[in-house]
Amino acid sequence: MTPSQNPSIYIGGFRIDEPITALTDIIFCLVCFYAYSKTKPTSSYIATKLYSYFFLTTGISTLIAAIVGHAFLYYFGKDAKIYGWILGIFSISFAQFAALYNTKSIIQSKLFKTIFFILCLETIIAFIATFYFWTFIVVIIHTTFSLLIVATSLEYLKYKNEKSELSKYILIGVGVLIIASLCHILKLGFGKWFNHLDVSHVFMTIGIYSMYLGVKKYNKQLTKTTHHDYTSST
């Protein structure tokens, strides 16, 4: 156990490692599931559909991390973390493709296809590299490229051109996720009972909720537009 790690707790003879870290992970994944339930793919807009799937798969990935990677790592073993890592790569890929489709209307078709090919290739390489190197570093690199570079750049372009509410909230969310990453990297915590991982999970929850608000607002706007077009035609 590292000095900053939550001490294990026992319920009878039942041992739970890193209880606060696991709990904050579960709170985060519940927000992800809530976001998915409120933004289930009902519209024809591909970008919001992909962001909705991003919420779902991120929630599942984090749930695996809470159970396998923290609370019961001693039971499952370190190798079991690979399931959460792979699903994490999958979920982040949804976000980068969502951002790409959200900017499809303002970039040239040839450029869209080129970026699409690069993102597909990068995702495949990330999957293979995770199994080959068997390290979470691959997931960090993939997340940095896909979310902090690709998604942020594309959504900024969309917001700059169209003042998109969806893009604004996505950018705010990613900004908060950057703060979460800094807390993790710099180990900014309040001691072993609320360490840097726990603080990071709090900011992750705020970040994902911001992204959810963007998708929710856009879906609501899209529904109103569709309803107005329908009533106008009748």
DSSP labels for 88-143? HHHHHHHHHHHHHHHTGGGS-HHHHHHHHHHHHHHHHHHHHHHHHH--THHHHHHH
Residue 1 falls inside a structural domain: no
pLDDT of 5 reads: 92
Residue 231 falls inside a structural domain: no
Residue 97 falls inside a structural domain: yes
Residue 163 falls inside a structural domain: yes
Provide the residue count of the chain. Answer: 234
| Residue pLDDT, tens place only, 153-172 | 999 999 999 999 999 999 99
Closest CA relative to residue 164, chosen from 223, 201, 215, 126:
215
Residue 234 falls inside a structural domain: no
pLDDT of 130 reads: 92
| Residue pLDDT, tens place only, 72-98 | 999 999 888 898 899 999 999 999 999
Q: Is 212 helix (H, G, I), strand (E, B) or coil?
A: helix
pLDDT of 227 reads: 39
| Residue pLDDT, tens place only, 110-160 | 999 999 999 999 999 999 999 999 888 898 899 989 988 999 999 999 999
Q: Which domain holds residue 60?
A: 19-224
Residue 88 falls inside a structural domain: yes
Number of domains in the chain: 1
Q: Tell whether the model's pLDDT for residue 41 goes beyond 90.
A: no
Which residue type, as a one-letter code, is found at position 70?
H
| pTM for this prediction | 0.89
We report the CATH number of the domain holding residue 177 as 1.20.1070
Q: What angle do CA 76, 62, 209 make, to 5 degrees?
A: 165
Q: Tell whether the model's pLDDT for residue 229 goes beyond 60.
A: no
Residue 2 falls inside a structural domain: no
Q: Residue 57 is encoded by which pair of tokens? A: 């798969």
